[in-house]
Structure 1
Amino acid sequence: MIYGPNKPKSTNRLLIQTVWPFLLIIIVLLGATLFSLKIMTAVRAYVAGESLYSKAQKQAHISLINYLHSKSNEDYEEFLTQINIPLGDMKARIALQQAEPDLKTAYEGFVQGRNHSTDIPNMIFLFRYFSETPLMKEPIEIWTDADQYVIQTLVLGKEIHHKLSSKRLSINEETEFIWKLDSINADITPLEEAFSFSLAKTSHQIDLIISNLLVGITLFLMALGLIFSHRLTVQRSVALKQLQREAEKNLAFLRSASDGIHILDAQGNIQEASDSFCEMLGYSRDQIMGMNVTQWDVFFDPQELLGMLKEYSYQNERLQFETVHQRKDGSLLDIELSLVPVEQDEKRLIFCSSRDISERKQHDQQVERLAYHDQLTGLPNRLLFEDFLNKSLATSKRYHDFGAVLFIDLDKFKNINDVYGHSMGDELLKKVAQRLSSRLRKTDTVSRIAGDEFVALLPSLSTDQNKAAIAAMSIAEELRVALAEPINIDQHNCQITASIGVSVFPKDSENFNEILQEADIAMYRAKQNGRNTLIFFEHEMHDRITERFTLEQELRNALQNDELELYLQSQVDKEGTMIGAECLVRWMHPTKGLIPPDDFIPLAEETGQVVKIGEWVLSKACQTLSQLPFAASAFSLSVNISAQHFQQAGFIDFVKQVLAESGADPRHLILEITESLLIQQPQKVIADMQTLADLGIRFSIDDFGTGYSSLSYLKRMPLNELKIDKSFVNDIPDDANDSALIQTILAMAHHLGYTVVAEGVETQTQHNFLASLGCELYQGYLFHKPQPYQEWLNNIASLKPNKANQKSPD
């Protein structure tokens, strides 16, 4: 536990009295400097703005003269561009001269005048608060006098433009306009020069005023600083004398302290020690002086301890923890150690207090063992289990994950006691406790809460409630099977089974007793169902979870029991000629009938069984290729390969082995992969694809556009085709978004040289729309439904040979 040391109020007060004058000096000087920079920046911005103003007025005059001669609208546009600059400055000044200044309009005016955006706030500030001062009044009045000539120039320019646009400008009028323009320019030029001179004078005067002001403020503040420095020196001298007296008094207190007081430097070397500390470790004062902390502290690694002390010596807080000291005779002491970092003569020290807590520790451990553990098995008891479960429940609610509680009751345990005696029953309970503990994760907890009743806590199984329930059922099944194995006790083979109830947490407003009661109820239902079984408590989830758990177990046996069937859905070209098929898998359940892939493939992916299923489909596909009749000898068969399967070690060797055993031509095999395969290790994936492509195998991206896409990787992959997902085909051509997306995919694929297969084509309208965009191949109920393997072979056997399906792929 960490404690912060209390500082004396007098020290704090002295520190504040000493420091605040210097802080005030810095703040005043900084404020004066920033204010001066703001004023000087604004003045220089006005000087720069005046330069832009004058240049723009002159350029507007020149552009208007050129316009009279050239009659070109470009010259007139240039005139408008240039005259807008002085007009903007005028607009800003008028906005600021109002009774209530219009700051937004003023900002827009200065922007129109091409003043730098970072300077405009300072320009507005200077005008608002200093426009009536003698320094600014003269330039503003000259600026105001020039307004009439800018407006006259604008009016004259528009009149000239009107004349020229209507083609009614005579030579005399042109001469008159030039004369007027020259007159305006002659009148405004002296004002511009006066404005420039006045601003320069103002800038010089402001620079001089500010410089003198800063020098004065600096001198004044330096004088204050000297006064306060003298005061600080006097106070420091007094404080040092007080500290010296305190040090002498503290040393006397330290050496006579009853606790094991000692002082270390930042390297762990002892600087001073109390008589009690010397006696605690069995050393004399002469022996202990100069020893290093690593010579008596055996709890921490020496290097770790020295590093910790060095880092802690520069902190400003009290630290308390438990450690172990070794006495001179080698015996060990449990110690409660308190540390406080201090500084003395600019040297970092650590004030330490060691208290022997060996007896207290032994007593605490014995009490805790009796209070929180089962005396027979050594497992946590109900009280400690409740604490673990409450903490796990709070953690699950905080991090939105799910855990489970298993209530385990030994079936007919009373018979063991009756037949072999209670001593045998106790030994059996110990063995059961060991067997349960060995089958659980390190984060799990198993507890004995009564006679032959055990409970297991399984925290953080999953963030998905269904997956957590399935995981809990799987672990419960493992425990049930493990307990059913014979247990040898004193040359007797005891056979015991268990009924297990499972409850998942958290649920709304649920506590320890409710969770345990749910698992208990589920356990009794397991007893009622014949014992040696497990029951999931949740009413609303029980059927679904049980069905899913059962489905998982049945899926594991589906391959061995030859329950999987190969289906094929033909693919056609734009003339409707069959060119190949996609291999699909169906599960013919012995009692539930045909189960579609959407109901078991996701489960297979979650449990890793998708690899075995993928190997089975690939083997069947290659066998089918080798059995194709002559009329379909050029057909290609597509096989879906999951990311798990592709990334499986030895996948390439397996493909080579299947091709060799079946005799199938690899040029007629297409492996369909998804974009998600590229999320991890894209370089390795591309290399493996290239290895298979070198054998003649072709690749297709399945469900293109629904997952991870990277054109940079697509270009590097040895691809042959893209498959448009049926979700994009369903609503075309009515859905504009899907239509545009398909059009984009086709354009990109053709540009990269890929063939495109549209999946899920079910209407003639869809087919016509896809054909109009140049789609080459189609798959869907409009042409062929998926057929069992043998039925599909029988159908293609009746096909007549044609040029299309006798040509081998390149």
Structure 2
Amino acid sequence: MLTLPWETARAVLTTISIPVLLIFPLATAAIGLIFTNRMRRETLERSVEHERQLLKSLFESIPDLIWLKDKSGVYMACNPRMGELVGGRAEDIIGKTDYDIAPTSLADEFRRIDNQVMSTGIPDTREELATFAVDGHQELLETTKMPMFDIDGNLIGVLGMGHDISARKRTEEQLRHLVQAVEQSTENIIITDLNCAIEYVNEAFVKATGYLRDEVVGKNPRLLQSGNTPPETFAMLWAALKRGETWKGELHNRRRNGEEFIESAIISPIRQPDGQITHYLAVKQDITRQKAAQARIEHLAHYDELTGLPNRALLTERLHTLLSLSRKQRHQSALIIVDLDHFKTVNEALGITFGDAILQMTAARLQALVSEGATLARLSADEFAILLPDISPHRAETTSQHAEVMAETIHSAFRNPLEAKGEAVTFSVSLGICLFPEPEQESASDVLRRADTALHRAKAAGGNQTAIFETAMGEQAKARYAMENELRNGLGNNELMIHLQSQVDRLGRVVGAEALLRWNHPQRGLIPPSLFIPVAEQSDLIVELGSWVLEEVCATIAKEQLAGRSLKVAVNLSPRQFRKAGFVSWLQQLLASTGADPGHLTLEVTEGLMIDNMDMVVGKMHEIAALGVRFSVDDFGTGYSSLSYLKRLPIRELKIDKSFVQDLPGDSDDAALVETIIAIARHLNLAVVAEGVETEAQADFLNARGNVIHQGFLFARPRPADQWLQGWREDYPVR
């Protein structure tokens, strides 16, 4: 049978079709049918080939690994991605087994899994770490292996697929860390949906609020509200969230047990990648303790811890406000400073705890006297202040009169004793009053300074007094301030000098001298110590002056000592310098550095030194006496005269004040006092120095009653140290 090629047959049919159709109708129909079927089969084949190419293209472009192994483990097919794994082409894998491309142990495991899948018919999915031979990088694959069957249901082998899950695993790990961080965070974290239903809270929230997760999930966070968060806070919160912005602020909430707490909150919208807001995130921190500490600090900055009264800072603020108001209304107000007389003595005698109780009772007593609108404050240890605003619209008396009435009321109230810890103590009080405003530019500090000046005037008058500031007081205060500054400059400019006044025995022989400080002012000339010493005693300037005098005196003693002359000098020692920490060691160093004989130095102290902290005084004086320095009690009989301290202290000398000597021998009272002092000194084996001896009668009276050393104009006036020393050296040449 002759078979023509299809193309040839088609050409032949085209050529002969018309005659044939005309001649042979039946044959023509048969040939047409054959031609149509052939055309359909050709179209089908082209379609199948197209689909095969599409499938192949898809198979090769899939980024996942795909392979097919027969029942014996031979690779029947794989995509290029699989080829990359072993460092070759897909064609290089076909016909091989796992033993050809992987270590034996790994191939055994692959074979085991393949056999399991084929025997059970159940797909196997697991994670496997694959190393790519192309560049050696590793990928974590999620592999799935399943049995493969033909169209008749016969098992062909195993189809495998591997998907790279490295990025997903990294994301999952990051998410795990994030979840762990959120869960372990010390800050309260809440996530809600847009309807404010809680979807998540962390452990910190549970600990902070006392609510369990199950109790709050699905609920609205308003269950935490205490009712003390201002409504405007919530209004600003929701306005920010509606704008898609973050809100920061403080919320006053309530724990499950009813306890209120304060939270610092940051609430933000959560956006999806497309920008859509789906949730709200709240990160909150319990700041209750911080707020309490802050309030405590602010309270301490403006209130006295012991009494609870406003302190100086708050008083100054209110005084500043009142000054401004008084100027605008052209009214006067008043400031009263109240000081407990001799509080320091009682405080040291009965202890700080007792003193604190007294101050608290003082505050309570004054508070009971202060009317509404006035301010009672504690300024310092035992100083209180009362700020009286102008009350003339409400009372008939003026502010000045009201201040005086208030002062008298305070004096009356403190005539009754204060009782604390079983002890009853009666204090008098000193008051300084200042009316303000006076000058147009007066400040709060100026008002306080003027009231303090008045207080010092009241105390200088003996205490238990009220003094109202007068312009003259202010001028005196300015003068004292100016003098203090000039004196301080004078110390640095060598304007100070030492004068010496002789001390002689009953026969008129010089046995020593007293060092007296003088100030030679460049403009005002020689200024007497009665003017500048009280100014220096109000500050540590007296310590600087005293140190300078002691340095000069010790240097002079040492100089004469080297020359073979024995010079004894007495120096006045201020209580402030004596109490200064480190004074004993400083004096010891001074004696050592100058080489002065400590036995030639006498320190004159007043009886007032013995009033305060007697135990400290006794201990310190014995330390100094152990160095060899002598002590003399200056102005004996004018202050705290008690024979008991003479027994406890290393006193070597009593100095009779000139006020007892000046009327001798005519004044019988003075005569009796002087005789008593001399007798006491004799019995205690103490030396006696009499100051202010100006007449022969005074000297005779003293000599008739004991071995008294004389100091006064009768024998010698104070002279500059260099002049005095020159004369003394002539009278007492080196032997």
If the length of structure 1 is used for normalisation, what is the TM-score? 0.37
Task: Report 1 or 2 for greater relative contact order, CA contacts < 8 Å, sequence distance ≥ 6.
Answer: 1
Return the structure number with greater helix share. Answer: 1
